[in-house]
Structure 1
Amino acid sequence: MFLFLLTKLECLRLIFLLILVVISQFLQVVEIVSVIFVLGLLSLKAVECRNQHRRPELFQYPAINCRKHSALLTDFGGKGDGKTSNTAAFRSAILRLSQFASDGGAQLIVPPGKWLTGSFNLTSHFTLYIQKDATLLASQDESEWPLIVPLPSYGRGRDAPGGRFSSLIFGTNLTDVVITGGNGTINGQGAYWWTKFKSNKLKSTRPYLIEIMYSDQVQISDLTLIDSPSWNVHPVYSRDVIIKGLTILAPTQSPNTDGINPDSCSNIRIEDNYIVSGDDCIAVKSGWDQYGIKFGMPTQHLSIRRLTCISPYSAAIALGSEMSGGIQDVRAEDITAINTESGVRIKTAPGRGAFVKDIYVKGVRMNTMKYVFWMSGAYGSHPDNGYDPKALPVIRNINYRDMVAQNVTIAGNLAGINGDPFTEICISNATIEMRKESKKLPWNCTDISGVTSRVSPQPCGLLPDQKPSSDCAFPNDRLAIDDVPLKICSGGSSYI
């Protein structure tokens, strides 16, 4: 009724005003929705940003010592995209964390991702923790691998007369250092180096994955190591070392990809490791010819337990050939070798000098082997022509017991040195099943002496059956390193 009292013009004005009001209300709603939408995007972006740098959930791990302070590699600019170099991030992080050495130590956590990096150095009272689903990728840019001098007990590099590339993870003169993880991975991307080595294009020795020098209280554990350029784990001139729970993998035809090489070290515990290698699974060393003799630091008091090895062209455990500082008091037990060239091998030569003595091995299971027992006094391979051929090694008190082998080509190839025989060899309770098609004599022995007991097939005449039968020696005491406990440590809290 009211509208009928208005003029036509007034009606049009009223309708226009009503339209403006509706439009205004609509625009306010749109504006509010837009603001909410933008805020939502910003919120999601913030969550995404936080997720990129989020702290890992609390986790626990066994270690010789725990740390008071923690940091993530991402706190120092690390990027786990598999493409960006993190060498500077690792170096910066460790330099910063070294400041906490006297205040409870520090741990650097590498979170899930692929972390490309060159060589970096560790510090004391420090833990490097590589989380599950985290992979360190070794750079193939040689400029990211500093050159360092040859080891004094070798006199030159192993691959070339010059220096050597620093290892991917390196440390020297350290106390209390732990390299561990939730079975995280270190991938050496070794094919680049293997190709250069095989084509004689290297002027310096290839890098290793982990090398710790002149250090004490060292733990390397619970990691997977893949495709090292050369040796995988090399503690040298160090003491009180625990290496456990490693999975080490390399193609069986890759050159010199030894698994674990304790070198001029004392008080070492190596246990619960699985190794597939292009060379020896464990190689015990102590220097090379005249350089090792002069340096004079033996590897001694070594315990090896629960090793599984696959190495078609090398040994499960090798003693030598670089043993010129001496090797003594080695205890190996509970060893499994599958498709491996030999079980425990002693390698030496005139010029090496020193000794391999007081070696005790028991509880070895072998399947598909070329040799079960192998000793060689003519291994050769010298650093230069300055060695003394009259420096003869002493090989004695070598004990093997409780061994079972199947599908074997040669039971024993034991060859000492003319005028310098290997003595006091003892083998007991060993059952060897020869390969059916094998036409070679099961035993070949020269320049050795010792005894056997309950060994089949019957050994050579230089190892007569002792009467009455008895077991070869194995120590009843424990090494000091065997009684070092591991604490349960925590990660994921107390960040700097």
Structure 2
Amino acid sequence: MEQSQRFRASDLIQTILPVLVLATVSLRVVECKVHSSGPDALHYRAINCRKHSALLTDFGAVGDGKTLNTKAFKAAIDSLGTYASQGGAQLIVPPGKWLTGSFNLTSSHFTLFLHKDAVILASQDEAEWPLVPALPSYGRGRDGNGDGRFSSLIFGTNLTDIIITGNNGTIDGQGQYWWDKFHQGQFNYSNKIQISNLTLINSPSWFVHPTYSSDVLIHGLTILAPIDSPNTDGIDPDSCTNTRIEDCFVVSGDDCIAVKSGWDQYGIKFGMPTRHLIIRRLTCISPDSATIALGSEMSGGIQDVRAEDITAINTQSGIRIKTAIGRVAYVKDIYVRRMTLTTMKWVFWMSGSYNQHPDTNFDPKAFPEIKGINYRDIVATNVTGAARLEGIAQDHFTGICISNVTISLSKTPKELQWNCTNIAGVTSNVTPEPCHLLPKKEKVDCAFPEDRLPIEDVHLKTCCTTKTA
């Protein structure tokens, strides 16, 4: 969701990345041939296992929730980076509360593993969140700091084969400080990224923000923020290709998933779309925002999004498309099926007037293309309004298909259930009856692709750690 205040703190996890070395390697990580057991054994599923491993405490970290461990994290990551070409390495965060500022993952073929009783606590000292250059597809930082932006808690750039996982360990962004004063991570230019089986809470801003990356696997995340917290998007794939998001539970003050690709003329110039995105088995609670939002920063384009088996409870809208004059690019070839929605303001929402801009230099004649939007097999109950579909007068949204949808209204529904302007498409087997711009057509099943994307054929290995003495 767009920035609504002057200042925004950093994301929790962002993807971009760099390297360094030193310390005792105490464990060995292998792909399990036989299921090992015992109090010291760790098992997890990952795209790759590592040959080398160490504990955060090997680098002087103290898990008392008070001692700052930023230097320990950096020293561990630098040390283990020497093993990138020797089977990779894993840093284990053991039980405890580990206070830290922002840190980089600087080496490829690296795993950060959180024990189930481990909590990484984000520092509330502003000096621990350094400013970094603005993303080129945004033109300026979203934080109100000129051309800069605050770094994410965990981030990296130009990496391959990075895993952040655990036995449901926790990363706590401690965002209340930032929410109170100014009203969690990020990966860039990276590929083969896995973020899984973690609990992420109270991010200062967007939780998980993969950027300019490919082959991204996100699954098994529990993401929790107060429903009135600002800008706490759950997962924001941004100019990414071949991404799979599965089995995540999000409670947020903003969009549960927000798909992006750059902002106005900066995103147009950068020209990197988000495409080939799969979203499955998502559960969302967000009273003021969308289950899945496409845009509004979509100036590099969004294409081939496939969402299925989605549940939303007490959420503002199901699928929302957000764009405006000045964005250019496209949102097209969008496929959604099997949604179960309960207590919604709108089931379908498209906005052509989402008019926040990075500066005044956007092109007022640059129109976005919104077409090929397919929704099917949806059941929604306790709904205030079925649809709010608002295209642009000079630039209609076309190719909208909605089929097999049953919407049951709340006790105080809107008088106009289908608010439609500047759109075109068809509907089939939809109640309540749609607007005249979406005429009924018998026996239509809106499209959903039958081919498989490459990210669907990525299979996880079972990794385990054993003592090497």
Common fold: TM-score over 0.5 = yes
Task: Compute the RMSD of aligned alpha carbons.
Answer: 1.0
Instruction: Give the Å deviation of 1:494.
Output: 4.2
* Alignment partner of 1:486 is 2:460: yes
- 1:242 matched residue in structure 2: 217
Q: Secondary structure at the match of 1:246?
A: strand
Report 1:423-462 matches (<5 A): 423-462=398-437
- 2:181 matched residue in structure 1: 196
Distance 1:277 1:137 in 2: 19
Q: Which has the higher contact order (CA 8 A, sep 6+)?
A: 2
* Alignment partner of 1:87 is 2:70: yes
Q: Secondary structure at the match of 2:345?
A: strand
Show structure 1 runs of 5+ residues with no match: 1-54, 199-208
Q: Deviations over 1:48-105 (max 9, x none)?
A: xxxxxxx961111000000000100000001000000010000000000000000000
Instruction: Give the Å deviation of 1:210.
Output: 1.1
- 1:64 matched residue in structure 2: 47
Distance 1:453 1:86 in 2: 58
Instruction: Give the Å deviation of 1:150.
Output: 0.4
* Alignment partner of 1:264 is 2:239: yes
State whether residues 388 and 418 of structure 2, in contact with CA within 8 Å, keep that contact through their aligned partners in structure 1: yes
1:120 to 103, 106, 122: 103
Instruction: Give the Å deviation of 1:436.
Output: 2.1
Q: Deviations over 1:208-246 (max 9, x none)?
A: x21011000000000000000000000000000000000
Amino acid at match of 2:40: E
Aligned residues: 430
Instruction: Give the Å deviation of 1:162.
Output: 3.4
1:153 to 137, 147, 151: 137
Change (3 A) 1:491 1:341: same
* Alignment partner of 1:365 is 2:365: no
TM-score in terms of structure 1 length:
0.86
State whether residues 70 and 492 of structure 1, in contact with CA within 8 Å, keep that contact through their aligned partners in structure 2: no
Distance 1:449 1:494 in 2: 65
Q: Deviations over 1:14-42 (max 9, x none)?
A: xxxxxxxxxxxxxxxxxxxxxxxxxxxxx
- 1:187 matched residue in structure 2: 172
Q: Secondary structure at the match of 1:94?
A: helix
Distance 1:491 1:121 in 2: 24
Distance 2:70 2:49 in 1: 25
Change (3 A) 1:85 1:441: same
Q: Deviations over 1:110-136 (max 9, x none)?
A: 000000000111121000000001000
Change (3 A) 1:494 1:314: farther
1:313 to 268, 288, 311: 288
1:474 to 428, 448, 453: 448
TM-score in terms of structure 2 length:
0.91
Distance 2:162 2:180 in 1: 33
State whether residues 374 and 446 of structure 2, in contact with CA within 8 Å, keep that contact through their aligned partners in structure 1: yes
Amino acid at match of 2:124: Q
- 1:11 matched residue in structure 2: none
Instruction: Give the Å deviation of 1:492.
Output: 4.5
Distance 1:131 1:494 in 2: 19
Distance 1:491 1:141 in 2: 35
Instruction: Give the Å deviation of 1:143.
Output: 1.3
- 1:14 matched residue in structure 2: none
Distance 2:412 2:319 in 1: 24
The structure carrying a bigger helix percent of its residues is 1
- 1:52 matched residue in structure 2: none
Amino acid at match of 2:165: T
Q: Deviations over 1:178-221 (max 9, x none)?
A: 000000000000011112221xxxxxxxxxx2101100000000
The structure carrying a bigger strand percent of its residues is 2
Larger of the two Rg values belongs to structure: 1
Q: Deviations over 1:309-334 (max 9, x none)?
A: 00000000000000000000000000
Select between 143-152 and 62-71 the one with higher mean Cα deviation.
143-152
Amino acid at match of 1:346: I
Identity %, equivalent residues: 70
State whether residues 425 and 449 of structure 1, in contact with CA within 8 Å, keep that contact through their aligned partners in structure 2: yes
1:174 to 159, 180, 186: 159
